[in-house]
Structure 1
Amino acid sequence: MPVIHSQDYNVLIDENPSILVSFIEQLKPSKIFVIVDENTKLLCLPILEKYLKTPFSSIQIVSGEKFKNLKTCTLMWDALMKNKCDRKSLIINLGGGVIGDMGGFVASTYMRGVTFIQMPTTLLSQVDASVGGKLGIDFLGIKNMIGLFQNPKLVWIETQFLKTLPYRELKSGFAEVIKHGLIRSESLWQSVKQSFPKIEDSDWKALVQTSVNIKNDIVKEDPLEKGLRKILNFGHTIGHAVESHFLDSPNHLLHGEAIAIGMICEAYISYKEGLLDGPALKEIRTFIDGFYNIDLKLLPIKNEILELILKDKKNTGDQINFSLLNKIGDCIYDKNISTLRIEESLTYFDNK
């Protein structure tokens, strides 16, 4: 597979492991630390162990978005200190979006910055979270409220890791692929629709590469999210609020499931704002509803959702900013939307 050149690092997909080994050897790290959770320790670390020729220490955290917080960061910083991690050490984040976001944040803030490599193991993290340098943690129930932009030294993607995922996790990750099609590539959107319902039979190498290229092209043009990069937030304003609300509940939603809800609602807002046409809205809703089949009502929790949206980091003062669809494959950003319109979209979602 070709190398994808990003800002000051490369993204390598299913390359020969000898390239990874050589890259690490050239870094000449004083020590290597691998961040894992209970799942990647069992299923993915043995694969990485076959590649690495130098000793390393692993630091294990508990999986799940609810643990992406300062408490877990403190445990990680403490482990790094106790194991004498220094500024010439290397940290490898072996896991999904939580490990990539938080592991990168911990590496970037420890001793004012330690070199790190992102090694995403879920579809969600391979096509989205590992690329672009966004790092951070949740704070006081608000997603990604504390964080920074810092690029990794390398992103190493192995699609064989996707074989370790439950089907629900694959579906969750597919939401970001859907989003990339809706905001930037009608051809990807059509390809995604053809993958339904047997996504496990997808050509993962091609799908990941296409999705990474879309995000990478956007990020290279706008690294710090001052303009164009904001279109990557389509589906995430309402989606993040829904995800945050259910974070500690028995009805816990995976990130992609919440973003699927957000995309339906925000496609409706796009339609009501005179941007997206009716047939396109119906096409989007029919596909996402059929794919995710989420049995959930939003109106009973509309006040909680609106409260979370009002704290969204993308807002400007009292203005609630959305990224909305002009049409399938084209998206605008910084569209100010009223709370009344948001409530309408929740009603639309509930009326299946």
Structure 2
Amino acid sequence: MAVVANLDPKRSNAGSDALEALIALVADDLNAVNEQILSRMHSSVELIPQLGGYIVAGGGKRLRPVLTLAAAQLCGYQGTRQTALAACVEFLHTATLLHDDVVDESDLRRGQASANAVFGNKASVLVGDFLFARAFQIMVEDGSLDVLRILCTASAVIAEGEVLQLTTTNDTDTTEEAYLEVIKAKTAELFAAACELGGIVADRPAVEQAALRSYGMNLGIAFQLVDDVLDYSAVQARLGKTIGDDFREGKINLPVVLAFRRGDEEERQFWRRTMEDLDQRDGDLEHAIALMTRHNALHDSVERARHYGAVARDALEMFPNSRIKHALLDVIDFVVSRDF
């Protein structure tokens, strides 16, 4: 049994096109960001650029740095600070991925072997530390205390989110509120910081900086909600990606929270056995998906994502109409309707 998380398949291609359109609008700056990443990953210690390059090369669409570049363009910024800061955002993101995969004992990252599976846990943790250090060097070079405040705060909040997730893993009593607290810290905080930086470099009023932060925060929440749904999605399986990783690790995400809360006692015993005790047997993943489907847990999780997407949309209302604004609005559809 499988579930297609994308509730409106006709929108999936449109969402992907929206992301490509946003990337095209910041293409020159993004090329400069990629150059910054390559140059700043240089080290005489051969393993550092080797491992760092491995994970950066598989780094997907660079959504977070793209948001920094787009936010700066939305604010009319004409300088160059945004490219180094976007690289900084990508370093922070990459460092957290390295550490996440070690903590989660993950063997795969975006369909390929994770860095820790290839290079080992010790190397992954230490290179993650190196990337954090590089990010802080970039912040200091920029010279703005506001930039330093935003990114240092984001780094601390993300670390808190990782620790908080440890307290909810394998705990079926986790509430929706506790789950949201985790994903706001672990995922959405960096989205928020990435967007807020655009207003900072352009020296925009505080109300605009706050609006950009709100856009990023709500976009990030929607992104993680859909990510959690995709872990149980047939779309992922058709793309050759593994499904059920969160289930096998006992991670409590919103589909589990909703299915557990809405189920009867027999169903709750199933969740306790599989998620708390990690006593998982053949067919348990399929049964978990069946329970989520029965209780509309996947559907309602996507609907929550749509809600946060709508809040993100509202946050940009104060900005004048432009191609970059419309691209930022359209990328919300990509986040909510994506299948990768």
- The TM-score normalised by the length of structure 1 is 0.28
Point out which structure has higher relative CO (alpha carbons under 8 A, 6+ apart): 2
- In terms of fraction of residues, the more helix-rich structure is 2
Query: TM-score scaled to structure 2, two decimals?
Result: 0.29
